[in-house]
Amino acid sequence: MAAAEDRAENIRLLRDSAAAIVPAGDLKRIRALRFNDPGFDRGVWRQMCDMGWAALRVPEAQGGSGLGVQEYCALAEELGAGLVPEPLIGAITAVACLRGEALAEAMSGARVILPAWQERAGSLDPAGDTAITNGRVSGRKLFIPMAAGADAFLVSGRGGLALMAADAPGVTLAIERTQDGGNFGTLTLNNAPCTATPGDLAPALEEAALATAAYLLGAMDRAFEITLGYMKTRQQFGRAIGSFQALQHRAADLKIQVALTRASVEAAAVTLDTSQHLALRQAAVSRAKARAAEAAMLVTRQCIQLHGGIGYTDEYDIGLFLRKAMVLSNLHGSASVHRARYAAVALDEDE
């Protein structure tokens, strides 16, 4: 019981600390960062690291907080509610495989180190075809969130992992804007110098997929909350539109989607914290990510519909939540990719 109470207290404290970063109903900071490089605020990033967030999953013996996946997801959910653009999930993923000076720099926020692992759309394989040999790396990595602000990349490949500076010779980084105003990077490596890094990125990527689902949960929940407030104040035919039965039914359906997503994310977090069974872990993550990806799109689209014409204007905040869902729904695997993996690992369990 004591352990459960400690975890609940840790989660409460994390949610409370997020109030310093997450805007309380004011998205001016988020709007100001859109479509500008690097897409996030380095001052805020250092503040997040000072609060120990980048080191959340690092064992205490290595200078981290040693907290679990349940705490990680609770924090990601809070960040999603505020559409926070700082690349915490990516940084935590990289930190899991860093050691020594690189780890200290990443945890403190002195350097933004992001993972570069995906080589093709729909792939969940962190190795791919990238070659890492003799302190050199050649290959191409896609879909690196907020890559414009990275100081270094942790690259996965057939030879393991490699840490390399973003401005190292042989490195070309192409930046593409995303719907939410952030950016994705495409990293092309041509015999670039690197430092071999021991470790396996796969477990951290599973946690990152679940944390992304939790972020989507926070975003859809906040969008729904904003929409309920609008329905209580918007008048039509002399009545608040929230009093119309047809709209009440639609709102009830959205609340169910949020509740089901929350249950799935929380159950998956418990599984990752308590089980080392690979198939169980993968099934839990895929179930949560598939649900979160589809529910986030459904809820945010319906929220715009319930706002009427004003919901379609960029000046109104509700549209920012749909844009974020559009970007993150496919990150770390789309709903269809995770449904296929869930079916495959469930079949493995049966056998």
Q: Tens of pLDDT along 155-206?
A: 999 889 999 999 999 999 999 999 999 999 999 999 999 999 998 999 999 9
Question: Structurally, how many domains does the chain consist of?
Answer: 3
Are residues 206 and 327 located together in one domain of the fold?
yes
What per-residue confidence (pLDDT) applies to 348? 62
- pLDDT of 166: 97
Q: How high is the pLDDT of residue 182? A: 98
Q: Cis bond leading into 59, ω under 30°?
A: no
Please give the pLDDT value at position 243: 67
Residues 341 and 229 in one domain: yes
Contacts of 291 (CB under 8 A, 6+ apart): 213, 260, 261, 264, 335
Residues 239 and 270: their CA atoms lie apart, in Å, by 44
CA–CA distance, 217 with 71 (Å, rounded to integer): 15
- Residue 23: per-residue pLDDT: 74
Residue 189: the pLDDT is 97
Give the pLDDT confidence score for residue 251 in this predicted structure.
92
Residues 187 and 99 in one domain: no
For the chain, the C-alpha Rg in angstroms (whole number) is 20
CATH number of the domain residue 308 falls in = 1.20.140.10
Q: 76 and 103: one domain?
A: yes
Specify whether the CB–CB gap between 126 and 156 falls below 8 A: yes
Counting as low any pLDDT under 70, the low residues of the chain are: 1-2, 24, 235, 242-243, 347-351
Note down the domain range covering 83: 2-108
Q: Residue 168's pLDDT is what?
A: 97
CA pair distance 286, 338, nearest whole angstrom: 5
Domain end, chosen from 75, 108, 141, is at 108
Residues 181, 220, single domain; the answer is: no
Strands 183-193 and 160-165: unpaired
Of 108, 140, 156, the residue that ends a domain is 108
Separation between Cα atoms, residue 35 and residue 12, nearest integer Å: 33
Do residue 324 and residue 218 come from a single domain?
Answer: yes
pLDDT tens for 91-136 read 999 999 999 999 999 999 999 999 999 999 989 999 889 999 999 9
HSE (CB half, 13 Å, CA atoms) of 330?
Answer: 14
Is 224 in the same domain as 344?
yes
pLDDT for the residue 21: 85
Q: How far apart are CA 259 and CA 19, in angstroms?
A: 22
What counts of helices (H) and strands (E) characterise the chain? 11, 10
Cα 212 to the chain's mean position, in Å?
3
Counted residue by residue, the chain has a size of 351
Last residue of a domain, one of 150, 176, 197: 197
